[in-house]
Amino acid sequence: MSNYRVLLLESVHPNAKEKLSSYGFDVEPLADALSGKELAERLKGVHVVGIRSKTQITAEVLEGADSLMAIGAFCIGTNQIDLAAATARGVAVFNAPFSNTRSVAELVLSEVVMLSRQLGDRSAQMHQGQWRKTARSSYEVRGKVLGVIGYGHIGRQVGVLAEAFGMQVLYHDVVGKLPMGNNAPSVSMDALLAESDFVTLHVPETVQTKGMFGAPEIKRMKKGAALLNASRGTVVDIPALAEALKNGHLSGAAVDVFPVEPKQNISDEFHSELQGIANVVLTPHIGGSTIEAQENIGTEVGEAVSRFLATGSTMGAVNFPHLDLPPSEGKYRVTHVHENVPGVMRHVNRVVSEAGVNVGAQVLGTHETVGYVLMDVDRPLPPKVIQDLEAVDHTIRVRTPLGGPPVG
Ligand code: NAI
C-alpha cells in the first residue's frame, strides 16, 4: 500500500507519521503550514494531507489537488477546511474531537478546588509579597454538590473525577444519559441550579446553547455558589456573570472560553468584564491543551486516516457517513462515493451484476449531500467495470482500497 502518499504539515505529532508508516504509506512530514501556490504545488499527487489549524484548505486548493482522497485535521475544529467543497469532490475529512476530553475534565476539577480555597487570589497575593494565611471562606470540596450541565464526553469524565473527591454529582442533559458511578440525573436544570455548590458547563455550541446561561440562570444558582465554563464562550452572558460576582451572589468563577478570543498569543490583547474580580480564575482556552491530548490526536487521526486508505472505513469522518466493514478473506473491496440522490445504488448494482461479479457484503450510508458504499466482491474488478461504475450518474469517486492500486 506504499503507493499512497501522505503529506503532514504544521509539525503534526510524530505519532501520526508512526501510525501511517506502520500501514506502509509513504509519509512526508513538514514543520510549517503552507499556502497559495506552494500548497497547490505540494499537494499534486498527494492522497492525504494532514494539517492543524493554520493551513487553509479552500475550494481552490481542492480543485488543484487532483489525487486527494482525505484530509486529516490533527486538531478539534475543521473551520479551516471548506467542508462542502471537500465533500463534493469525495474527499473525506477526519478530526479528533474527543482526544482532549480527559485534559478538560482534569482542568475543571482542579478549578473546583481552586475556587473552593481561593487559590488564584492567594497565589497572586504571594507573588505581590502579601502573606494572607486565613481559613475564611475556604472549604473542602468533599460532600459538596457539583452540577454538570451537558453530560457528554467531558461532562461524564468530570462526574467520575468529582466523585473521587467525595463530591455529590448531579447532571442535566437534553438527551437521556446513563449515569456514571453514583452521578444522578437532575429532574430539571432549575432543580440542579438550586442544589449545586458548583455548576460546570459542558454543552456544545449550538443555536440552543448560545446565551443559554444568562442573568436568570445565574440568579437561580444558590447564593455563594461558583460557575465554571470550559465549553464555549457564547454559552455564558459574561456581563451578567461579572455582575453576580460583584454583588456577591456568586462566590467565584472559572472561565476558559470567551465570546471573543485573541487570535495570536501575547501580541493580541485580552479584555473581559471579569478581569480584576476576586476569586475568578481566567485561562486562555487551554482546557484541552496538553501534551497527552496532542499525542492522542496524532494517534487517533493517524489511525482513522490509515483505516480509510486501507479499508475505506469512514469512522471518525466529519463529512461522510460512518461506515466500517471488517475485511474478509479472499474478497476485494470497492468503495463508491456519490451524490445523495435516489436511484444511484440500483445502477451500481446493475453494473456489478452485469459483469458477473458476486457481492459478498455491501453497506450504504448517507450524510447530507453524500452517499457512500463499501462493498466486498469475489474477484478484482476489471478496469472496464471500474470505468462503468465511474460512469454511473452522480458518481463522485470509485476506489478499490484493499490490495489494488489507488483508483480515482
Ligand atoms: P459532547 O458532544 O460529548 O457532549 C455535549 C453534551 O451536551 C451532549 O450530551 C448533549 O446532549 C448535551 N447538550 C446539548 N445541548 C444541551 C443543552 N441545551 N442543555 C444541556 N445539555 C445539552 O461534547 P464534549 O466533547 O463533552 O464537549 C463539550 C464542550 O466542551 C463543547 O462545547 C466543546 O467545544 C468544549 N471543549 C472545550 C475545550 C477547551 O479547551 N476548553 C476542549 C474540548 C472541548
Q: What is the per-residue pLDDT across 77-101, written as a single tens digit (0 to 9) for each?
A: 898 999 999 999 999 999 998 899 9
Do 67 and 184 fall within a single domain?
no
Using CB distances shorter than 6 Å, the residues near ligand 1 are: 76, 98, 100-101, 104, 149-155, 172-175, 202-206, 208-209, 212, 230-232, 256-257, 285, 287-288
Measured in Å, residue 387 CA sits from the centre of ligand 1 at: 44
Measured in Å, residue 73 CA sits from the centre of ligand 1 at: 19
Tell me, yes or no, whether 261 lies in a domain: yes
pLDDT for residue 28: 97
- What are 135's three cell numbers? 481559613
Q: Could you tell which of 206, 231, 236, 296 is best to mutate to test the pocket of ligand 1, judged by most ligand atoms within 8 Å of the CB?
A: 231
- pLDDT mean over 224-239: 97
Do 214 and 199 fall within a single domain?
yes
Do 86 and 202 fall within a single domain?
no
Tell me, yes or no, whether 363 lies in a domain: yes
**Which residue's alpha carbon is nearest to atom 32 within ligand 1?**
204
| pLDDT confidence bin for 405, thresholds 50/70/90 | very low
Do 2 and 143 fall within a single domain?
no
Closest ligand 1 atom, residue 154 Cα: 26
- Please state the three-class secondary structure of the chain as a single string: CCCCEEEECCCCCHHHHHHHHHCCCEEEECCCCCCHHHHHHHHCCCCEEEECCCCCECHHHHHHCCCCCEEEECCCCCCCECHHHHHHCCCEEECCCCCCHHHHHHHHHHHHHHHHHCHHHHHHHHHCCCCCCCCCCCCCCCCCEEEEECCCHHHHHHHHHHHHCCCEEEEECCCCCCCCCCCEECCCHHHHHHHCCEEEECCCCCCCCCCCECHHHHHHCCCCEEEEECCCCCCECHHHHHHHHHCCCEEEEEECCCCCCCCCCCCCCCCCCCCCCCCEEECCCCCCCCHHHHHHHHHHHHHHHHHHHHHCCCCCECCCCCCCCCCCCCCEEEEEEEECCCCHHHHHHHHHHHCCCCEEEEEEEEECCEEEEEEEECCCCCHHHHHHHHHCCCEEEEECCCCCCCCC
**Which residue's alpha carbon is nearest to atom 17 within ligand 1?**
174
Tell me, yes or no, whether 408 lies in a domain: no
pLDDT for residue 194: 98
% the chain with pLDDT above 90: 92
CATH code: domain of residue 363? 3.30.70.260
Tell me, yes or no, whether 304 lies in a domain: yes
**Which residue's alpha carbon is nearest to atom 25 within ligand 1?**
153
Q: What confidence tens digit (pLDDT) does each residue in 339-384 have?
A: 999 999 999 999 999 999 999 999 999 999 999 999 999 999 999 9
The number of beta carbons lying within 10 Å of the beta carbon of residue 373 is 24
Measured in Å, residue 152 CA sits from the centre of ligand 1 at: 6
% the chain with pLDDT above 70: 98
Residues carrying an active site annotation: 232, 261, 285
Do 372 and 350 fall within a single domain?
yes
**Which residue's alpha carbon is nearest to atom 14 within ligand 1?**
203
Number of domains in the chain: 3
Residue 406 has pLDDT above 70, yes or no: no
Tell me, yes or no, whether 87 lies in a domain: yes
End-to-end CA distance of the chain: 15
CATH code: domain of residue 121? 3.40.50.720
Do 249 and 309 fall within a single domain?
no
Do 223 and 118 fall within a single domain?
yes
**Which residue's alpha carbon is nearest to atom 42 within ligand 1?**
288
- pLDDT mean over 202-211: 95
Do 64 and 176 fall within a single domain?
no
Measured in Å, residue 326 CA sits from the centre of ligand 1 at: 31
The number of beta carbons lying within 10 Å of the beta carbon of residue 261 is 11
Do 140 and 260 fall within a single domain?
yes
Tell me, yes or no, whether 406 lies in a domain: no
pLDDT for residue 408: 37
Range of the domain at 54: 1-99+290-316
Do 121 and 235 fall within a single domain?
yes
Do 198 and 273 fall within a single domain?
yes
Closest ligand 1 atom, residue 97 Cα: 25
Least confident of 6-15, 260-269, 305-314: 260-269
pLDDT for residue 402: 59
pLDDT for residue 75: 86
Q: Could you tell which of 109, 174, 208 is best to mutate to test the pocket of ligand 1, judged by most ligand atoms within 8 Å of the CB?
A: 174
pLDDT for residue 407: 39
In angstroms, how far is CA 39 from the centroid of its own chain? 25
Closest ligand 1 atom, residue 175 Cα: 11
Residue 1 has pLDDT above 70, yes or no: no
pLDDT for residue 263: 79
**Which residue's alpha carbon is nearest to atom 36 within ligand 1?**
231
Q: What confidence tens digit (pLDDT) does each residue in 62-72 have?
A: 999 999 999 99
pLDDT for residue 41: 94
pLDDT for residue 329: 86
Do 297 and 332 fall within a single domain?
no
| pLDDT confidence bin for 176, thresholds 50/70/90 | very high
Which range of 31-40, 77-86, 246-255 scores highest in mean pLDDT? It is: 246-255
pLDDT for residue 265: 86
Q: Which residue has the cell 460557575?
A: 227
Tell me, yes or no, whether 407 lies in a domain: no
Measured in Å, residue 102 CA sits from the centre of ligand 1 at: 13
Residue 131 has pLDDT above 60, yes or no: yes
Measured in Å, residue 288 CA sits from the centre of ligand 1 at: 13
